[in-house]
Amino acid sequence: MNTKFNFSKIAFLAFFIAFSTALSSCKKDSETEPEIDPNKKGMLEIKFDNIVGQDDFTLGKDYQNAAGETFKVDLLQYYISNIILKSENGSEYIVPQEESYFLIKEHDENSRNIQIPNVPEGNYNELIFTIGVDSLRNTMPPAQRTGVLDVGVEGAGKEMYWSWNSGYIFFKMEGTSTAIEPTDTNPNGKFRYHIGGFGGYDTPMFNNIRTISISLGRDAAKTREEAMPSVHIVVDILKVLEGTTQISLSEYPTVMVNPFSLKVSENYMKAFEYHHVHNEGHE
Ligand SMILES: [Cu+2]
């Protein structure tokens, strides 16, 4: 009886030691991360995920806004520019301006994943960027507005530019709503939100350039030479109509070059939110 008791006691002790060793080695593993060498460079990906409330956003699908209006979106695209990455230790990586313009298009999945090269290794926990195009670029000669800014290219600047000297459209959302009373000029109840305005040349114009900062909280995007983290940002389309000011589509079916657009850009600033980060690739 006595030896049996001792044996089980020893067995328990052995089990306990094995178990706690397993625990501590596991903990050690997850705490180990590749060291940072600021002389080495890697990449950082930012994914823009358009959503509606808690759901994935789909073009052509019926949604309801806070005003109780049913609407669907057929086109959604916006510029993201002038990206700055801030690291945990306070250092900043400013993406070279020439390479810092992106047009996020709901209908083009590739456009929704921005990959930034030549990022010094670091743990980045804050992203700063502009929704739209800075005023300086707006006023540059066409030769300096290439790629997604090229106003001659369809799917790029062509449908995102006001040719009458008003500059780029920063954010474009079009669709239809059953709440919009059909008229002779608008038989299908279309709504068009073309938001832009960089402050103007000589005559002052309203300014819809919006720069936001997105914190990753306790998370960090760990850029290493051999590891590209992916930061997911969700963009809640409902917030475009209610981020700060509740907007009724039937009351405002068209918002373009108009001071009311300030309300819309103030709203969509609230649409961008950090969601999560992948540091070990996508599952
Ligand atoms: Cu993800």
Taking only the tens place, the pLDDT of each residue in 52-91 is: 999 999 999 999 999 999 999 999 999 999 999 999 999 9
Two tokens, residue 101: 């313009």
Separation of CA 282 and ligand 1 centre (Å): 7
Q: Give residue 5's pLDDT band: very low, low, confident or very high (50, 70, 90).
A: low
Query: pLDDT tens-digit profile of 161-188?
Result: 998 778 999 999 999 999 999 999 999 9
Highest mean pLDDT among 4-8, 19-23, 34-38, 112-116: 112-116
| Confidence at residue 138, expressed as pLDDT on a 0 to 100 scale | 92
**Could you read off the pLDDT of 22-56 as tens digits, one per residue?**
444 444 344 567 789 989 999 999 999 999 999 99
Ligand 1 centroid to Cα of residue 70, in Å, is 29
CA 281 to centroid of ligand 1, rounded, Å: 9
Q: Check residue 15 and give its pLDDT.
A: 58
The Å distance, Cα 276 to ligand 1 centre, comes to 6
Identify any residues that bridge with 119 across adjacent strands, giving them in sequence order: 42
Distance 97 CA to ligand 1 centre (A): 27
**Model-level pTM?**
0.87
Q: How close is the Cα of 275 to the center of ligand 1, in Å?
A: 8
| Secondary structure, 3-state, 210-271 | EEEEEECCCCCEEEECCECCEEEEEEECHHHHHCCCCCCCCCCCEECCCCCHHHHHHHHHCC
- The rounded Å distance from CA 182 to ligand 1 centre is 41
Q: Tokens 């030769």 correspond to what residue?
A: 143
In whole angstroms, what is the distance from residue 267 CA to residue 260 CA? 11
pLDDT for position 23: 47
Distance CA 269, CA 75 (A): 19
Report the C-alpha gap between 133 and 143 in whole angstroms.
16
* Average of per-residue pLDDT across 132-141: 94
CB of 208 within 8 A of CB of 197?
yes
- CA 278–ligand 1 middle distance (angstroms): 6
Has residue 93 got a pLDDT over 70? yes
How much distance in Å is there from the Cα of 127 to the middle of ligand 1? 17
CA of 35 to the centre of ligand 1 (A): 24
Single-letter amino acid code for the residue at 30: S
Average pLDDT in the chain = 90
Cα(232) to centroid of ligand 1, in Å? 6
CA–CA dist 213, 129 (Å, integer): 7
CA of 260 to the centre of ligand 1 (A): 35
β-pair partners for 171: 78, 195
User: Residue 16 — very low, low, confident or very high, per pLDDT cuts 50/70/90?
Assistant: low
Find the 48 Cα to ligand 1 centroid distance in Å. 10
